[in-house]
Amino acid sequence: MTEETKQNPILKRLPIIIIGLVAVLGAFFLRDYLTFDALAENREALIEFRDANYLLTVLVFIAIYTVVVAFSLPGAAILTLTGGFLFMTFPGFVFNVIGATMGATAIFLAARWGFGKQLGAKLEGSEGMVKKIKDGIDENQWSMLFLIRLVPAVPFFLANLIPSFLEVPLRRFVISTFFGIIPGSVVYTSVGAGLGEVFAAGATPNLGIIFEPHILFPILGLCLLAALPILLKAVRGKKGL
């Protein structure tokens, strides 16, 4: 970072400003393109292109997924289904996780560069409950990072932004993101792998499948496992929780 960038708050916040602008424009202009109907209409052309250019299809797919997540564009769920439709559950979920992790890392770095350090310093210098909450998160970063990835109710973009404001190390963010999103990605990729039958029946996929008991309970079990260190510290009365 140059001295000019350090002194100019606009330049520091330029990446996150660009992401915000692209997200707004994308929500308006791309809403009709990254949809289930668009996937259904172009499924044959996509399969033909994949069969003729498998490696290129993988690279282009991961690149598109990265851009969609990095700029918070609409269509991440459809892309996850597409990953399963084109590449089956495996290795489709691997490609989905790689693209999502790369996109999440991009927005994490942009937010940290523009706001993270200043906000983190303010929280560190605060007193009372705010300081206790921050200290608690600092002491249980791995558990908290996995929790916000595993809990289906936490929006993906919030799980990308919150760690950037709390000075979470980049390596820790990347690792927890990659492994934390695997359960949900496997579920939705497997739904995408069955889209052939869905298309044949003229139906739409059930994206609420992750909340069905046989899917939700194992994920909640993983959440409990991730939260176990926090619960143990709470029971032992350790400081910072």
Residue 77's pLDDT band, with cuts at 50, 70 and 90, is confident
pLDDT tens digits along 109-148: 888 887 666 666 665 555 655 555 566 667 788 888 888 8
Percent of the chain predicted with pLDDT > 90: 29
Q: Tokens 């598109």, residue?
A: 64
Q: What is the pTM of this model?
A: 0.79
pLDDT tens digits along 176-231: 999 999 998 998 899 888 887 777 777 677 666 666 776 667 777 777 777 777 66
Give me 175's structure tokens: 């690792």
Q: What is the average per-residue pLDDT within 162-175?
A: 87
- Residue 27: pLDDT over 90: no
d(CA 157, CA 230) in angstroms, rounded, equals 24
Query: What pLDDT, on a 0 to 100 scale, did the predictor assign at position 124?
Result: 59
